[in-house]
Amino acid sequence: MKHRRLLLARHGRTDWNRTFRYQGTTDVPLDDGGREQARRLGLRLKREPLVRIVASPLVRAVETASLVSSSLLEAPPTTYSPQLAELDFGLWEGLSVAEVMERHGDLYRAWREDPFSVEPPGGEPFLSAVDRVGKALAPLLHEGEGTYLVVCHGGTIRAALASLLRLPPDLVWKIRQDNCALTAVDVWDAEPTLAFSNDQAHLLVEEALIDAIPLPR
Protein backbone atom coordinates (compact mmCIF):
# COMPACT_ATOMS: atom_id res chain seq x y z
CA MET A 1 0.00 0.00 0.00
CA LYS A 2 1.55 3.30 -1.09
CA HIS A 3 1.87 6.05 1.50
CA ARG A 4 2.31 9.78 0.98
CA ARG A 5 2.21 12.51 3.61
CA LEU A 6 1.28 16.11 2.88
CA LEU A 7 2.71 18.46 5.50
CA LEU A 8 0.72 21.69 5.26
CA ALA A 9 2.49 24.68 6.80
CA ARG A 10 1.07 28.16 7.13
CA HIS A 11 3.55 30.97 6.44
CA GLY A 12 5.23 32.91 9.24
CA ARG A 13 3.73 35.96 10.88
CA THR A 14 3.40 39.33 9.13
CA ASP A 15 2.56 42.79 10.50
CA TRP A 16 -0.96 42.28 9.19
CA ASN A 17 -1.30 38.97 11.05
CA ARG A 18 -0.20 40.75 14.21
CA THR A 19 -2.98 43.33 13.80
CA PHE A 20 -5.58 40.75 12.66
CA ARG A 21 -5.95 42.19 9.15
CA TYR A 22 -7.14 40.19 6.16
CA GLN A 23 -4.24 39.84 3.70
CA GLY A 24 -5.57 37.62 0.95
CA THR A 25 -3.78 38.34 -2.32
CA THR A 26 -2.03 41.45 -0.91
CA ASP A 27 1.69 40.68 -0.94
CA VAL A 28 2.73 41.34 2.66
CA PRO A 29 6.23 40.17 3.74
CA LEU A 30 7.10 38.41 6.97
CA ASP A 31 7.96 40.50 9.99
CA ASP A 32 10.97 39.67 12.17
CA GLY A 33 8.87 37.40 14.36
CA GLY A 34 7.60 35.58 11.28
CA ARG A 35 11.13 34.97 10.06
CA GLU A 36 12.04 33.52 13.43
CA GLN A 37 8.98 31.26 13.27
CA ALA A 38 10.01 30.03 9.82
CA ARG A 39 13.55 29.37 10.99
CA ARG A 40 12.20 27.33 13.91
CA LEU A 41 9.94 25.38 11.56
CA GLY A 42 13.04 24.55 9.52
CA LEU A 43 14.78 23.25 12.65
CA ARG A 44 11.75 21.08 13.39
CA LEU A 45 11.96 19.56 9.92
CA LYS A 46 15.77 19.51 9.80
CA ARG A 47 16.05 15.73 9.53
CA GLU A 48 12.74 15.08 7.76
CA PRO A 49 13.35 13.39 4.37
CA LEU A 50 11.18 15.64 2.20
CA VAL A 51 10.61 14.73 -1.44
CA ARG A 52 9.69 18.27 -2.47
CA ILE A 53 8.59 21.65 -1.15
CA VAL A 54 5.65 23.28 -2.93
CA ALA A 55 4.77 26.87 -2.01
CA SER A 56 2.43 29.72 -2.81
CA PRO A 57 4.14 32.46 -4.85
CA LEU A 58 3.10 35.20 -2.40
CA VAL A 59 6.17 36.66 -0.70
CA ARG A 60 5.22 35.60 2.85
CA ALA A 61 5.06 31.96 1.72
CA VAL A 62 8.18 32.24 -0.47
CA GLU A 63 10.17 33.66 2.45
CA THR A 64 8.90 30.92 4.76
CA ALA A 65 9.75 28.14 2.32
CA SER A 66 13.23 29.58 1.75
CA LEU A 67 14.00 29.86 5.47
CA VAL A 68 12.76 26.33 6.08
CA SER A 69 14.77 24.93 3.17
CA SER A 70 17.98 26.60 4.38
CA SER A 71 17.71 24.76 7.71
CA LEU A 72 17.29 21.26 6.26
CA LEU A 73 20.14 18.79 6.23
CA GLU A 74 19.10 17.75 2.71
CA ALA A 75 17.02 20.40 0.99
CA PRO A 76 14.69 19.04 -1.72
CA PRO A 77 13.62 20.99 -4.81
CA THR A 78 11.17 23.84 -4.24
CA THR A 79 8.45 24.69 -6.74
CA TYR A 80 5.78 27.40 -6.68
CA SER A 81 2.12 27.06 -7.57
CA PRO A 82 -0.18 30.07 -8.15
CA GLN A 83 -3.07 27.74 -7.27
CA LEU A 84 -1.83 27.76 -3.65
CA ALA A 85 -2.12 31.55 -3.26
CA GLU A 86 -4.40 32.81 -0.52
CA LEU A 87 -8.09 33.49 -1.14
CA ASP A 88 -8.96 36.89 -2.54
CA PHE A 89 -10.91 38.61 0.25
CA GLY A 90 -12.04 41.48 -1.98
CA LEU A 91 -13.05 44.64 -0.10
CA TRP A 92 -12.01 43.07 3.20
CA GLU A 93 -8.29 43.01 2.36
CA GLY A 94 -6.40 45.43 4.57
CA LEU A 95 -9.24 45.61 7.08
CA SER A 96 -9.03 44.18 10.58
CA VAL A 97 -11.58 41.63 11.74
CA ALA A 98 -13.13 44.32 13.94
CA GLU A 99 -13.45 46.68 10.96
CA VAL A 100 -15.05 43.98 8.81
CA MET A 101 -17.50 43.21 11.62
CA GLU A 102 -18.36 46.92 11.94
CA ARG A 103 -18.93 47.45 8.20
CA HIS A 104 -20.28 44.07 7.05
CA GLY A 105 -21.34 42.32 10.26
CA ASP A 106 -24.26 40.26 8.96
CA LEU A 107 -22.44 39.23 5.78
CA TYR A 108 -19.29 38.36 7.73
CA ARG A 109 -21.20 36.15 10.17
CA ALA A 110 -23.00 34.40 7.29
CA TRP A 111 -19.67 33.83 5.50
CA ARG A 112 -18.08 32.36 8.60
CA GLU A 113 -21.01 29.98 9.00
CA ASP A 114 -21.28 28.92 5.33
CA PRO A 115 -18.34 29.98 3.13
CA PHE A 116 -19.55 27.59 0.42
CA SER A 117 -22.58 29.82 -0.23
CA VAL A 118 -21.45 33.30 0.88
CA GLU A 119 -18.39 35.27 -0.22
CA PRO A 120 -16.71 38.58 0.69
CA PRO A 121 -17.77 41.53 -1.50
CA GLY A 122 -15.58 41.44 -4.59
CA GLY A 123 -13.80 38.36 -3.27
CA GLU A 124 -13.29 34.76 -4.31
CA PRO A 125 -15.91 32.07 -3.67
CA PHE A 126 -14.50 29.52 -1.24
CA LEU A 127 -15.54 26.65 -3.50
CA SER A 128 -13.35 28.15 -6.22
CA ALA A 129 -10.40 28.01 -3.83
CA VAL A 130 -11.24 24.42 -2.91
CA ASP A 131 -11.19 23.51 -6.60
CA ARG A 132 -7.88 25.21 -7.44
CA VAL A 133 -6.09 24.00 -4.31
CA GLY A 134 -7.33 20.48 -4.98
CA LYS A 135 -5.87 20.70 -8.48
CA ALA A 136 -2.53 21.92 -7.06
CA LEU A 137 -2.33 18.97 -4.67
CA ALA A 138 -3.57 16.30 -7.07
CA PRO A 139 -0.16 15.66 -8.70
CA LEU A 140 1.40 15.05 -5.26
CA LEU A 141 -1.11 12.30 -4.60
CA HIS A 142 0.19 10.44 -7.64
CA GLU A 143 3.91 11.04 -7.27
CA GLY A 144 6.30 8.71 -5.49
CA GLU A 145 5.92 7.76 -1.87
CA GLY A 146 7.26 10.08 0.82
CA THR A 147 6.59 13.41 2.52
CA TYR A 148 5.82 16.67 0.70
CA LEU A 149 5.88 20.06 2.42
CA VAL A 150 3.23 22.51 1.21
CA VAL A 151 3.79 26.10 2.39
CA CYS A 152 0.78 28.33 1.91
CA HIS A 153 -1.91 30.20 3.86
CA GLY A 154 -4.62 29.76 6.46
CA GLY A 155 -7.41 29.93 3.89
CA THR A 156 -5.75 27.61 1.40
CA ILE A 157 -4.88 25.05 4.08
CA ARG A 158 -8.54 24.99 5.03
CA ALA A 159 -9.42 24.69 1.34
CA ALA A 160 -6.98 21.77 1.07
CA LEU A 161 -8.63 20.03 4.01
CA ALA A 162 -12.07 20.69 2.56
CA SER A 163 -10.93 19.16 -0.74
CA LEU A 164 -9.07 16.16 0.68
CA LEU A 165 -11.39 15.32 3.58
CA ARG A 166 -14.71 16.54 2.12
CA LEU A 167 -15.39 18.89 5.03
CA PRO A 168 -18.85 20.40 5.39
CA PRO A 169 -18.99 24.21 5.12
CA ASP A 170 -19.76 24.88 8.79
CA LEU A 171 -16.45 23.32 9.85
CA VAL A 172 -14.09 25.25 7.58
CA TRP A 173 -13.44 28.29 9.79
CA LYS A 174 -13.49 26.21 13.00
CA ILE A 175 -10.12 24.64 12.15
CA ARG A 176 -7.39 26.72 13.77
CA GLN A 177 -4.30 27.41 11.64
CA ASP A 178 -1.60 29.41 13.41
CA ASN A 179 1.42 30.94 11.68
CA CYS A 180 4.11 28.32 10.94
CA ALA A 181 2.04 25.52 12.47
CA LEU A 182 1.98 22.11 10.78
CA THR A 183 -1.02 20.06 9.70
CA ALA A 184 -0.56 16.62 8.13
CA VAL A 185 -2.72 14.53 5.84
CA ASP A 186 -1.65 10.95 5.25
CA VAL A 187 -2.71 9.39 1.96
CA TRP A 188 -2.77 5.60 1.81
CA ASP A 189 -3.20 4.76 -1.86
CA ALA A 190 -5.96 7.28 -2.70
CA GLU A 191 -7.55 7.60 0.75
CA PRO A 192 -6.64 10.78 2.71
CA THR A 193 -6.69 10.78 6.53
CA LEU A 194 -6.01 13.68 8.88
CA ALA A 195 -2.92 12.75 10.92
CA PHE A 196 -2.66 15.90 13.07
CA SER A 197 -3.54 19.58 12.95
CA ASN A 198 -2.01 22.92 14.00
CA ASP A 199 1.13 21.45 15.59
CA GLN A 200 3.24 24.39 16.76
CA ALA A 201 5.46 22.69 19.36
CA HIS A 202 8.57 24.08 17.62
CA LEU A 203 7.42 27.62 18.46
CA LEU A 204 6.91 26.89 22.15
CA VAL A 205 10.11 25.22 23.38
CA GLU A 206 13.73 26.26 23.81
CA GLU A 207 15.60 26.25 20.51
CA ALA A 208 17.99 23.49 21.60
CA LEU A 209 15.03 21.12 21.94
CA ILE A 210 13.33 21.79 18.62
CA ASP A 211 14.93 19.18 16.39
CA ALA A 212 14.30 16.52 19.05
CA ILE A 213 10.51 16.95 18.78
CA PRO A 214 9.23 14.10 16.60
CA LEU A 215 6.43 14.55 14.14
CA PRO A 216 3.38 12.48 15.06
CA ARG A 217 3.25 9.28 13.01
Answer whether residue 149 shows pLDDT above 90. yes
Q: Give the pLDDT band of residue 163 (cuts 50, 70, 90).
A: very high
Helices within 26-73 (DSSP H only): 32-44, 59-71
Mean per-residue pLDDT, 119-127 = 97
Q: Is 48 a catalytic residue?
A: no
Catalytic residue among 11, 48, 63, 93: 11
- Residue that wins the pLDDT comparison between 157 and 170: 157
Mean per-residue pLDDT, 164-177 = 93
% the chain with pLDDT above 70? 100
Q: What is the pLDDT of residues 174-200, one digit of tens each?
A: 999 999 999 999 998 878 999 999 999
Domains and CATH numbers, the chain: 3-212 (3.40.50.1240)
Measured in whole angstroms, the distance separating CA 169 from the mean position of its chain's CA atoms is 18
On average, the pLDDT of the chain sits at 96
Helices within 114-173 (DSSP H only): 126-137, 154-165
Q: Which residues are annotated as a binding site for substrate?
A: 10-17, 60
Q: Give the pLDDT band of residue 170 (cuts 50, 70, 90).
A: confident
Q: Which helix (H) or strand (E) holds 187?
A: strand 182-188
Answer whether residue 110 shows pLDDT above 90. yes
State which amino acid sits at residue 52: R
Q: Is 206 a catalytic residue?
A: no
| Residue 85: CB atoms within 10 Å | 25
CA 181/CA 152 separation, integer angstroms? 11
Mean per-residue pLDDT, 75-89 = 98
Q: What is the pLDDT of residues 28-79, one digit of tens each?
A: 999 999 999 999 999 999 999 999 999 999 999 999 999 999 999 999 999 9
% the chain with pLDDT above 90? 91
Residues 6+ apart with CB under 8 A from 65: 53, 55, 78, 149, 151
Q: Which residues are annotated as a binding site?
A: 10-17, 60
What single-letter DSSP state applies at residue 115? T
Mean per-residue pLDDT, 83-101 = 98
Catalytic residue among 63, 86, 93, 119: 86
Answer whether residue 207 shows pLDDT above 80. yes
State which amino acid sits at residue 15: D
